Every structure is written in C-alpha cells, then in structure tokens.
A and B are shown apart, each in its own frame.
Chain A
Amino acid sequence: MGRALSPSWVGWSALGIVLAYSLTLPFVTLPGNGARLRRFQTEITRDHVFDQTFVMNQDGLNSIEFSVAPLDDTRSGDIRFRLSDVTDKNNPRLMRTGEVRAGAPTGDTLRFAFEPITNSSSHTYAFEVAATERSGLALVATKGDAYAAGTLWVNERPRWADLVFQTSTSPPVGSPWATFSGADDQAAPKRLPAILGLLGLNWLAVGILLQRFVAARRGSR
C-alpha cells in the first residue's frame, strides 16, 4: 500500500488526470484575434472599406464575430458585409453577403452569420466591412501582427494591424471526450466504457513499466 502511494505514483496519477482533462478541450482553435493590449478604434464610414484576411482551419465556417465600439449616440445607415474566398488571389470568389442596420448592435460585438460553407478548411478568406454612410460605430483592431495568418486592409492598402474577430463553425468544434460520448440527444457508444477502461489500464501499465526502470536505477546505486 505504501508503495502505491509513493510520490512517483502520485505524480503519475496527477499527470493522468491532467491528460484526461485535456480530452475535454476542443481539438482545434478556430481563427480569431482576441486579447491584445494595444488596441485602437476606427470608424466605419462610406469612405473606408475594411478587409480582414484569415485562413480557415475547419470545415463549416458559419459566422464571423467582430468587436465594435459606439462613438456617439448617433447611428445611421447600414453596415455591409462581404465574405470572399481569396485562396486563388487571381480569382477571388464572393461567398456570402449580409447587411445590418447600424443601430442594431446593442453590445460590443457584431455577428455576421451565414449559411455554413461546407469545405471551408484550408481556404483563405477576406471579410469586408463597409458602411453606406457615417455609421457612428467603430471597428476595434489590434496594433501589430497579432493574427499572423492574415492582415487588415483599409481601402485596399495593407495595414500593420488586425481586426479583433472570432470565427465559428457549424457543427461546433468538439473535444475528444464529447465525440467519444456522442451527441447530447444520443446514447453514449457501447464501446465507451471499454475504451475508458483500456485508457486507464494503458496508463497503469506505462506507469509500471517506468517504475521498473526507476526501481532498477535505485537497485544499481
């Protein structure tokens, strides 16, 4: 019993728990540009067309959410979105368009949702934001190359900045655990208990294997 509770076994068990927890995390991180201290705001007007490029890493792209900030209480006109596939730079393809009243956003984000793009993985996209007139809303961007796989363009000129944005997919990116245990409306697969048992047994056996080599090292002193 004393041997089972040795520090090395406690450490090994803790590592196993950490790995088991990691199985509950999503498989991949979708393209986005989040927290960064050096931010600035730039108003959406008819004189400025913003284009942010990004490389999608999953199929089923279905929305882009980006940060906005109200400049004053006066909101007018519409905000237009255009999403283009620019993988082939010489042959850009318009994929989705949308429009929203400038007065519609109530929070600090604006979501451009659309019909999912089935084979979006590995494609490069550019989403364009423009306004029909002075909107009273500003886009939030980060200074520097915060999002390495894309660039912010303003009036077709590249800038040393990126919009703050987040993409999402349908269906959402799951975790190994969620996939193993099945969808919410379905029963867990029959083999799940067996797989969990095998994972545990495998971890124990690797631990014993390592422990034998540790014991050999101690024996040789």
Chain B
Amino acid sequence: MRPVAGDSSLYTGVLDGSPARTVEAKVIAGYGATTAALVVFVCRVLIASAVVPPWQGPDEPTHFALANLVAQGTFTQQATADIERATLQSMSRHGWWRFYQEPTPDPLPYAFSQVPEHLASGTLDQPAYYILAAAVLRTVGDSDIDRQYFALRLLSITLALLTLLFGWLGTRAFFGSRTATGALALVSLHPQFLLSAISVNPDVLIDLCGAFVWWQTSRLAGLQPRGRVMAIVLAGSASLVAAFSKRNGLPLALVWLVATTLVLRTTDRRLRLRIAVAAIVVALGCVAAAYVIGGYSESFGRLWTYWGSAVVARRSLADLTPSTLLFFVKAAIDTAWLYAGWLRFPPPAMWAWVARTLTIVGLGGAAWLALRRKSNDVAFLLAWTFVAVYACTLLGIAFISAAAPQGRYVFAVMFPFAALLWRGLLYSFRPVLKAYAPVAIVGIVAALDTCGFVFVLLPAYVYHGAAAAF
C-alpha cells in the first residue's frame, strides 16, 4: 500500500524519486532495520524480565488474582482468600516489601485488605483482560504461582510484540517505511514501554488495541469504500475491548470516533450514513451480548458509577496556574519515559532533562510541521488526532480529579506519538545536519535506555533485591 502522506525529504534534502532518495529508502525500508529493532526489543524484554522481580508493576498482585479467579471459574470468598494468600507468599519470596523500604511483615498478611496502603482487591467489571489472561492460565495448567505469574508476563510480552507489529503497519501506511522504521526504533528502545511490556496489567491489552485502531484507521484511509466498513468495525471492536479492559482505555473509543469521522469526511453522504449505522449496530450488539450472555447486568450499573467517578471535579480550571501546569506537564513527560516500580525509582535528573527536551522539541517540531503542510495531509492530521484526543482526555481528567498524571497511559497511542516525535525531531535539525539526524536520535534514545538500565533498574532491583528474579 502506498503511504497516505508519503515520506517527505526531511533529512535528505532531495526531492522524492531522486536516485539518492531511492537508495536511502531501500536501505531503511529493507527488513534489516525492522528486524534489528524487533530483536532489540525481544532482547530487552528478556533482560528486563530477568532483572525486574515479579509483582513490581502497577497493581500486578490485584490483576493476577482476578485473572486467576476467572481461570478457576469460582468467585467464592474461599477462592479469593486462597489466591490472595498464595500471591502474598510469592510476594514475600520475591522481597516485595523490601522495594518499598519496609520489612517483610511477620506474620505475613493473608489478604490484600491487610495491606491497604499498597494493595486493593479490584473488580471484574471490566473483564476483557482477565478473560484473556484466564485463558492463558487454563492453557498453562500449572498450579505453581510463580510459573503462573511468568506465563502472564509472557502474555504481556506477546501483546507488546503485536503492538509493535500493528503500530509499525499503521505508521508505514500513513507515513512510509522510513518513518515507520524510525518510530519502531524509538518504541523498541523506550524504557517505560519496556516496563509496561513485562507487567501483568490490562494496560498491555489497551496498548495493543490502540495500535490496532491506528492500523485499521490507516487501512480505512487507503481502502476503497467496500472494505471500509470492515476496517471501521474492527477498529470499533478494538476500542470497545480497550474500554472494557480498564478505565484508561475509554478515550480510545473517542479517538476511534473522531478519527473515523475525519477520514470519512470527504466520502459521500449515503456511504457515511451506512457506515455510521453499521458501527452503531455493532457497538450496541457487542454491549448487549456482553450484558446478556456474560451476565454482567449488575456490573454495568457499577461500571457506570465507576466511570462517572473519574470525571468528578476536585479541581477547577481556575486552579490552573502556570506553575501547576508546568509541574503537571513535567510529571506527565517523566512518567511517560521512565519511572520504575510505579513511581518509586526515578531516573537521574540529567536523564529526565534529556527525555523532556526530546519530547518538547519533537512534538514542537511536529506541530510546526503540521501547520506548515497542506491541510489535506491525512497522516499528520490523524496522528495528531490520536495523540491529542487521547492524551488531553486522560491528562485533563487527571487534572480535574486532582490525580497525578501518568504518562505511560499514552502508550495506547504510542505509534502515532512516536511517528510525530520522529518527524518533529528530524525537522528540528539544521539542514546541514539532517543527514546525521536519524543516527543521532536513535543513538540518544539507545543511550537513555542503557543509562536507564545502569542507573535505575540495576541499582533498584539487582542490588537491593539481590537479583530476586534469579
């Protein structure tokens, strides 16, 4: 498929189709760089999996216990107590309290409710991830809790790899092979995405759904009318799965709606109407099926309350001072790049400044580039739609509800974000240096990744935890 927007000669300084441009495109578009980026990611997740002990991701014990209950098919108090006790014993074996700089309790707690400052029981009201994880646990069929944990970690790694695949396909269709390879390199070397990829958490499923919606939207933009309905339905279904995985998956439905509307704005009215009706029928059908077949009727009421509680305003826009905004944006960027152990192990200050500079320069360049380009440049328009709608919704909700911003939630739109970052960073280089820009950007991110391992992960987990994962 031809790229929707095509690669501009951002760093070659030559026009499309020139011999030099063709040679460069062949080198980058070849599978060597793509394969190398994927190998880098696989190596990194395996190394990180050996370094980071179990239960260090956000709410991992809670998500694991819920998946286990679904796998057993019993939700009695006894079953809950058994799995929570076994999980707490495993957490003790892996030195979980030590990473909070607390002594391991003696006697060991036997229920999550006894550790209220760190753990919660969670609910099955958004069951998509738990159903998938339970299927994996049933397939593994092992009663050893550590093996079960690593099976779910492997599931997360697999979902992350699929995220890379779908994200790369979408970016290639929108921006062309060079930008797709650059974005893939950025994501493969991204430190926080790596930690997310080894966590037992519904976030990995939401990230996959986001990449899938990105890919399907790119297909929608390039397909003939006959294939469009299928692309819309697939993307809509993925956004529904995200919404029923975790609360931060909800904005993906909004992204899907806005992006689809933007793509279809130039098609004829009858087709738009047909597509809209089909999409609404499919969405309602999925919800009704879950309601009736899944027996989640009670859950929907609770879910509605739970979703509504996210937008209860505890802070108004009047509280938005420049210093508050600066702090908020800084925290969002920092938590998007590296903050291991769920906000416990930050990177060195210099590291954080490099990451902040990359983000601001990259997105600033991409914004400037989007404004200067023709208004019908679908790729830039849609990439910005994905990033702006998703990020602004989540960060806006975090602000009004007086919660800390968690930049890692933006991984659901990781590839449009990475593509914009890549193009923006390339654009910000001076013309005489543009030829060196891709090497420099990948080199800087690779250096950040190496420093993240050396200065954050190894001291936090290998030294203090005495290589608990071994």
Contact = CB atoms under 8 A, between A and B. Distances in A.
A94 B427 CA distance: 60
A119 B103 CA distance: 10
A202 B453 CA distance: 13
A157 interface: no
Q: Per DSSP, are chain A's interface residues mostly helix, strand or loop, or mixed?
A: helix
Contacts of A215: 27
B105 interface: no
Q: Point out which of B14, B27, B438, B443 has the most chain A C-beta atoms below 10 A from its C-beta.
A: B27
Interface stretch (A82-90, A107-115, A128-136, A191-199): A191-199
B89 to A, nearest CB: 22
Contacts of B178: 216
A220 B13 CA distance: 9
Contacts of A155: none
Given A202-B40, A206-B40, A209-B33, A219 B439 contact: no
Given A27-B458, A176-B462, A220 B40 contact: no
B47 A212 contact: no
Contacts of A213: 28, 33, 438-439, 442
A202 B462 contact: no
A176 B435 contact: no
A202 B43 contact: yes
B36 A221 contact: no
Contact of B442 (A28, A194, A210): A210
B279 interface: no
A209 B466 contact: no
A179 interface: yes
B442 A191 contact: no
B101 interface: yes
Contacts of A3: none
A199 B27 CA distance: 26
B20 A220 contact: yes
Q: Per DSSP, are chain B's interface residues mostly helix, strand or loop, or mixed?
A: helix
B420 to A, nearest CB: 19
B50 A191 contact: yes
Interface in A95-135: 119, 121
B44 A202 contact: yes
A176 B178 CA distance: 37
A13 to B, nearest CB: 15
Q: Point out which of A176, A179, A213, A214 has the most chain B C-beta atoms below 10 A from its C-beta.
A: A213
Query: How large, as a class, is the contact surface on chain B?
Result: 35 or more
B32 interface: yes
Given A201-B39, A209-B37, A212-B28, A179 B463 contact: yes
A139 B406 CA distance: 51
Contacts of A23: 454
Contact of B458 (A121, A176, A206, A212): A176
A174 interface: yes
B285 interface: no
Nearest to A173: B463
B97 interface: no
Interface in A168-221: 173-174, 176, 179-180, 189-191, 194-195, 198-199, 201-202, 205-206, 208-210, 212-217, 219-221
B272 interface: no
Contact of A195 (B12, B32, B50, B454): B50
A194 B51 CA distance: 12
B459 interface: yes
Contacts of A24: none
Nearest to A175: B463
B46 A121 contact: no
A219 B23 contact: yes
A220 B21 contact: yes
B185 interface: yes
9 smallest CB-CB distances across A and B, nearest first, come from: A202-B43, A219-B23, A212-B33, A220-B24, A205-B39, A189-B470, A209-B36, A208-B36, A216-B27
Given A199-B47, A219-B24, 14 more contacts: A27-B459, A27-B463, A119-B101, A176-B454, A176-B462, A206-B40, A209-B37, A212-B32, A212-B36, A217-B436, A219-B27, A220-B12, A220-B20, A220-B23
17 contacts: A179-B463, A191-B470, A198-B46, A198-B47, A199-B47, A202-B44, A205-B39, A206-B189, A209-B36, A209-B40, A210-B439, A212-B28, A212-B30, A216-B27, A217-B24, A217-B438, A220-B11
Interface of B: 11-12, 14, 20-21, 23-24, 26-28, 30, 32-33, 36-37, 39-40, 43-44, 46-47, 50, 101, 178, 181, 185, 189, 435-436, 438-439, 442-443, 446, 450, 454, 458-459, 462-463, 466-467, 470
